[in-house]
């Protein structure tokens, strides 16, 4: 009897709680998408990519929409004005992301992407100098060397099997480039498809149900990450990161030698450790390794996928490719000799515009998430409570025909300098905005531009006769990021040089 009474009471409690939960947004006169009793609005998981989910529920006439992650109310905002306030003007309230990897997982929980303020501000300040224009000049040499290997790789693959798996090839390339910059490790994946670090990044790209569950917890119920012992990086990846990081730091003389000018990202981390030691403050090595791992994770697939989508689009838009080629012809010899610098590439208008348009159509994160640290007045009708997750619907705005007419069309003209300045601010957010915007933006863009310039000057990119149009590209349903969900191929026809 007692047991039955306890079950009855628990069910009543659950029912009352559910009843209150599902009225949460209606009680505040906020339009909402009706929630599932268990999952809330997370029923799209594994069935639809989040970038497509938010785009489908975008409604310009509703500045915000109430949703639930399980039973937790979250707010999706749809206007550039709210995006500006949350990401920039009132960023002091919205410094943290909602996703989190718990306290036990040092490499995950303390990396720049996931860590909360005030530690986030300290780390970000330390790492930002590694991404200035002057530092990128050092990285640019790696981009050029590896881009030349890409050209070679395409030749080998086209001659041997006439098929190049675009995403594999480009993530081989970005693993080499980002791995060298973040961990100081030289890899051979661009030419061979193989390297120890590449095994790790291939692991990141492989979906297993356990990893899927871990990611779902990190993104939507972070409280459970520690309970289940999940981690942001798989264990084998964490072990490998620790091993190679220590190895490279040792090769550079450890932490006790004088670090003059920071050569790269790894030196910035060593310097950070030295400064903490000098102030008798603790800086566990795992927290440093966490930053290197975040750079690798944040940098390799975003840029690799952008290169994949852009190459596929250009194959299907020869008119734009011809314009890029005509521009590149002016610096052909410099590209072929490997001495083209970033400033020159930045001047190639059509190439830059095509990449920007690619980031409009294929933004890796369909939403930009933040969490309110205090109660926050959204407008005269709504004040959200401290702790409410808020998502800026970047995907929705980048596909809104009012801001970007005929949004399915790949149209680099939108981003020619004379047109770009007419865009409504805060409707284009592929790299986020405000103090927490993508730290690797310039690195990623410069890397991608360099790779595309080398490819297009050497090859005409041609759509395979049986290939479907870019608008029909299957997007990965199981990933939380916007990535191709199918293998994409094009033909590369050597140009007369």
Binding mask 438-477 for ligand HEM (x = CB under 6 A): xxx--xx---------------------------------
- Site string (113-132) toward ligand HEM, x via CB under 6 A: x----------x--------
Min dist CB 212 to ligand HEM, Å, is 21
Paired strand residues for 460: 493
Collect contacts of 76-79 with beta carbons under 8 A, ≥24 apart.
76/367, 76/390, 76/391, 76/393, 77/378, 77/390, 77/391, 77/392, 77/393, 78/393, 78/396, 78/397
In this structure, how many other beta carbons lie within 10 angstroms of the beta carbon of residue 416? 14
Mask for 256-295, x = binds ligand HEM (CB under 6 A): --------------------------------------xx
Which of 437, 469, 474, 494 touches ligand HEM (CB under 6 A)? Answer: 437
C-alpha 443/C-alpha 422 separation (Å) is 26
State which residue, 15 or 437, has the beta carbon closest to ligand HEM.
437
Q: Which is nearer to ligand HEM, 96 or 411 (CB)?
A: 96
φ, ψ of residue 69 in degrees (nearest 5): -100, 110
Please report the beta strands in 232-379, taking only residues with DSSP state E, as ranges in sequence order. 368-371, 376-379
Q: DSSP string of 387-418?
A: T-EEEE-HHHHHT-TTTSSSTTS--GGGGSHH
Q: Which stretch binds ligand HEM (CB under 6 A): 199-207, 245-253, 342-350, 436-444?
A: 436-444
Binding residue (CB under 6 A) for ligand HEM from 68, 359, 391, 399: 359
Q: Considering the complex, state which of residue 69 and residue 443 has its C-beta at the smaller distance from ligand HEM.
A: 443
Q: How far is CA 18 from the centre of its chain?
A: 34
Q: Nearest approach, Cβ of 253 to ligand HEM (angstroms)? A: 25
Of 112 and 463, which CB lies nearer to ligand HEM in the complex structure? 112
Backbone angles phi, psi at 106, to 5 degrees: -65, -45
Which of 299, 366, 395, 470 is close enough to bind ligand HEM by CB under 6 A?
Answer: 299
- CB nearer to ligand HEM: give 151 or 295: 295
User: Does the footprint of ligand HEM cover residue 178 (CB under 6 A)?
Assistant: yes
Say which residue the tokens 């910035």 belong to.
268
**368 belongs to the binding site for ligand HEM (CB under 6 A):** yes
213 within 8 A of 246, measured Cβ to Cβ: no
Size of the site for ligand HEM (CB under 6 A): 26
Q: Which two tokens stand for residue 193?
A: 């498809």
- Binding ligand HEM by CB under 6 A: which of 73, 108, 430, 484? 430
Distance separating alpha carbons of residues 245 and 292, to the nearest angstrom? 8
Beta pairing partners, 64: 77
Binding mask 71-110 for ligand HEM (x = CB under 6 A): ----------------------------------------
Establish if 371 lies at the interface with ligand HEM (CB under 6 A). no
375 Cα distance to chain centroid:
29
**What are the distances in angstroms from CA 15 to CA 9, 19, 21, 40, 55?**
10, 6, 10, 15, 32
Is 187 a binding residue for ligand HEM by CB under 6 A? The answer is no
Task: Assess 395 for contact with ligand HEM (CB under 6 A).
Answer: no
Residues at the interface with ligand HEM (CB under 6 A) = 112-113, 124, 178, 294-295, 298-299, 302-303, 306, 359, 364-365, 368, 430-433, 436-440, 443-444
């Amino acid at each position: 009897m007692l047991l039955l009474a306890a079950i009855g009471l628990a069910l009543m409690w659950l029912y009352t709680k559910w009843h209150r939960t599902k009225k949460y947004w209606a009680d505040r006169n906020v339009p909402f998408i009706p929630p599932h009793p268990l999952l809330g609005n997370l029923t799209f998981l594994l069935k639809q990519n989040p970038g497509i989910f938010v785009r489908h529920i975008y409604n310009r006439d509703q500045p915000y929409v109430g949703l639930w992650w399980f039973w937790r109310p979250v707010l999706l905002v749809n206007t550039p004005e709210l995006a500006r306030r949350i990401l920039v003007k009132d960023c002091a309230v919205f410094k943290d992301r909602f996703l989190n990897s718990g306290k036990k997982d040092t490499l995950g929980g303390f990396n720049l992407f996931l860590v909360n303020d005030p530690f986030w501000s300290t780390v970000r300040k330390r790492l930002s100098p590694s991404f200035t224009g002057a530092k990128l000049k050092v990285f640019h040499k790696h981009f050029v060397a590896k881009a030349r290997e890409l050209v070679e790789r395409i030749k080998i693959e086209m001659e041997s099997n006439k098929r190049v798996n675009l995403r594999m090839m480009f993530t081989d390339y970005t693993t080499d480039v980002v791995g060298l910059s973040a961990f100081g490790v030289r890899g051979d994946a661009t030419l061979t498809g193989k390297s120890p670090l590449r095994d790790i990044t291939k692991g990141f790209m492989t979906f297993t149900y356990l990893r899927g569950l871990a990611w779902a917890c990190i993104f939507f119920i972070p409280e459970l990450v520690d309970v289940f012992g999940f981690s942001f990086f798989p264990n084998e990846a964490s072990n490998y990161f620790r091993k190679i990081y220590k190895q490279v730091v040792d090769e550079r003389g450890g932490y006790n030698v004088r670090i003059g000018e920071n050569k790269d990202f790894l030196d910035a981390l060593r310097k950070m450790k030295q400064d903490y030691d000098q102030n008798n403050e603790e800086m566990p090595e795992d927290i440093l390794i966490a930053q290197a791992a975040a750079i690798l994770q944040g940098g390799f697939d975003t840029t690799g996928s952008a290169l994949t989508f852009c190459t596929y689009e250009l194959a299907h838009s020869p008119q734009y490719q011809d314009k890029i080629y005509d521009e590149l012809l002016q610096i052909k010899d410099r590209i072929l000799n490997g001495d083209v610098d970033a400033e020159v590439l930045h001047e190639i208008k059509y190439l830059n515009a095509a990449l920007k348009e690619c980031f409009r159509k294929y933004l890796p994160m369909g939403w930009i998430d933040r969490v309110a640290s205090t109660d926050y007045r959204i407008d005269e009708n709504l004040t959200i409570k401290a702790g409410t997750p808020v998502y800026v619907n970047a995907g929705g705005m980048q596909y809104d025909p009012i801001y970007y007419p005929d949004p399915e069309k790949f149209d680099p003209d939108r981003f020619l300098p004379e047109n770009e300045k007419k865009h409504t601010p805060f409707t284009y957010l592929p790299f986020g905005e405000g103090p927490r915007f993508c730290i690797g933006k310039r690195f990623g863009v410069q890397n991608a531009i360099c790779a595309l310039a080398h490819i297009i000057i050497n090859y005409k990119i041609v759509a395979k006769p049986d290939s479907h149009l870019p608008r029909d590209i299957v997007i990965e349903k199981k990933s939380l990021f916007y990535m191709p969900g199918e293998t994409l191929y094009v033909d590369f026809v050597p140009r007369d040089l």
